[in-house]
Amino acid sequence: MNITLVDDSIPFDGYSASSRPLGGAEKAFASLPGALARRGHTVHAFNRCRWGMYVEGAQWETLDGKKPLRTDVLIAFRKPALLEFVRQADRRVLWHTGPGRLLERPSTRELLSSHKPLILLTAEAQARDFQGRGLRVGLMPAAVRQDFLGGEPRPQDPPRALVTTHPAHGLDWLLDLWISRIRPLAPTAELHIHSTTLASAADGGAVDEALRPLAKKALAAREHGVVITRPQGDFLMAVAYQEASVHLFPGHADDMGCFTLMESQASGCPAVVRPLGAAAERVKDGASAYVAPDDDAFANLAALLLNDAQVRRTMGEEARALYRGRTWDNAAAVLEGWLK
């Protein structure tokens, strides 16, 4: 099949995740074209890349590059208006990674009614507040890139907890819990916060006014074992997950990707998560991670994984097993099934 994918968010390409931090949704878009090409399809990906290039068998083009006159399948990423990117398409797909309620906007509903695309979701949680109303709705859970599938866990001493959440998505809550509840139960442990915003604050850079109190709190928490570091490309982030004892994931009600949680699980790092958004779907509760019902449970379970090497090892093995087959090649096969 001739398959055309289109995204108009930020500049990136199929190589970007290897060399710099990239959001989980963008990494998903970057990974699928090559996986589809390996399955024998002719694939073009249009986005805000700097120039056209050939990546893993797929042709990447800038948004103002020459569009195909027609395509067998058009995959619009996140933005419903992109369903009109190619005039003649046998099948149209809206690949949606956000909350389902965003698809209920009147303008969006008008586009969906006009083009009748397959709605491709990444989590069952998205369907809670979205009604198909005659549209086909499919599920293609996001996969993980190869860097997170090959290494061996090697937790460091002193034990490390790791957090990757956006500062506005529960980090303030987690810092308070770490200082008051978790660190006293694991007094040698460190909390490594991977955040571009807070790393910039630590270097004296400007921070959004709404996040300044949090930045001040995080910088002052160094005496409680808090370490602020910049996110990295996939290879170095995989190393960070392999060296951590636990991924603390506050979650957010609108987070339907939980992409870093998937990556840490694939790397063999157990987690403690709150049951928000799609987080509970990304783990196996009681086996690869703990879904904590309240603050007390979150703190106690985090301390357990920081202090008990055997529990940590067993759950890490379960996490790796859970994601062993979650490759983008397999995700492409799932998509093919929905396109038949």
The first and second tokens of residue 153, run together, are 């866990």
The Cα–Cα gap between 80 and 112 comes to 8
**Strands 58-62 and 289-291: what pairing?**
unpaired
Of 115, 57, 70, 81, whose CA–CA distance to 7 is shortest?
A: 81
The predicted-structure confidence for 92-105, as pLDDT tens digits, reads as follows: 999 999 999 999 99
Question: Is there a single domain that holds both residue 264 and residue 217?
Answer: yes
In this structure, the answer to whether residues 334 and 319 fall within a common structural domain is: no
Q: How far is residue 28 from each of residues 5, 22, 183, measured CA to CA in Å?
A: 12, 10, 35
- Tell me: do 119 and 170 sit in the same domain: no
pLDDT band, residue 290 (cuts 50/70/90): very high
For residue 69, is it left (φ>0), alpha (ψ between -120 and 50) or beta? alpha
170, 315: one domain: yes
Distances (CA, A) of 180 to 4, 149, 158, 195, 227: 51, 35, 19, 22, 17
Q: How many domains does the chain have?
A: 2
Residue 60 and residue 49 in contact, taking contact as beta carbons nearer than 8 Å: yes
Global confidence as pTM: 0.95
Range of 180's domain? 150-323
- Strands of the sheet containing 2-6, edge to edge, are 53-55, 58-62, 42-47, 2-6, 70-77, 88-96, 118-121, 137-139
pLDDT of residue 86: 97
156 and 282 both lie in a single domain? yes
Q: Do both 185 and 256 map to the same domain?
A: yes
- Whether residues 140 and 164 fall in one domain: no
Using DSSP, state whether 291 is helix, strand or coil.
strand
The band of 279, judged by pLDDT with boundaries at 50, 70 and 90, is very high
Specify whether 213 is located in the same domain as 91.
no
Residue 36 exposed, middle or buried by CB count within 10 Å (0-12, 13-18, 19+): buried
CA 6 to mean position of chain CA atoms: 19
Same domain, 208 and 97: no
* Residue 155 predicted with pLDDT over 90: yes
Indicate the burial class of 307 (C-beta count within 10 angstroms; 0-12, 13-18, 19 or more).
Answer: middle
**Same domain membership, residue 333 and residue 314:** no
pLDDT digits (tens, 9 = 90+) for 24-35: 999 999 999 999
Residues 173 and 305 in one domain: yes
The whole-angstrom separation of Cα 244 and Cα 227 is 13
Is residue 86 located within the same domain as residue 169? no
Q: Is residue 142 over pLDDT 90?
A: no
CATH of the domain at 27: 3.40.50.2000
